Amino acid sequence: MAMEPNERARLIERYAAGPGRLRQALAAVPAPAMQWRPEPDAWSAHEVAVHCADSETQAASRIRVLTSEKEPLIVGYDQDAWARDHDYHAHPVDLALAVVDAVRASTAALLRRLPEAAWAREGRHTESGRYTAEDWLRIYAEHLEGHARQIEDNAAAWTRHRRGGAGAR
């Protein structure tokens, strides 16, 4: 079912506010906790921030492909392999955040001017099948908020760990 324009506008504003929410969460993480992982296979707050930069560049491309290409194909990627193979802990968080800020601002401006017909466009995602511009908006309006909560959870787990409570590494 097609999204109402007012719901779409609300999601676009959530999308645009995402970088601020991410920065707010990161600002509350003590420096020694930035590269701490709550579980051996979990990401640290630092890795989450770098993932967000990579994900945002992918997302920016995806919405452009969906709204402009004939028979758009959205290709999935292995985010854990990217984190491992690109050594996210070695990547500066400030550069990752600058990417998130710039890509989100540019894409939010695009979203606000997309014509109604663009929102009806659909393609295929290699992992999830049918994929529309509105699906994209629902996913990415939540994406940075979800990762901000992950960072907050990491910081809380680190605090418990430091006090001798539950938590790993």
CATH of the domain at 86: 1.20.120.450
List Cα–Cα distances, 153 to 5, 22, 113, 164, in angstroms.
34, 13, 36, 16
Residue type, 115: P
Domain-embedded: residue 169: no
Residues with Cβ within 8 Å of 158's Cβ and at least 6 positions away in sequence, in order, are 29, 30, 32, 33, 36, 38, 167
Number of domains making up the chain = 1
Domain-embedded: residue 157: yes
Domain-embedded: residue 75: yes
Domain-embedded: residue 34: yes
pTM: 0.93
Report residues of the chain scoring pLDDT below 50: 167-169
Domain that holds residue 25: 5-162
Q: What is the pLDDT of residues 110-157, one digit of tens each?
A: 999 999 999 989 999 999 999 999 999 999 999 999 999 999 999 999
pLDDT at position 167 is: 47
Domain-embedded: residue 168: no
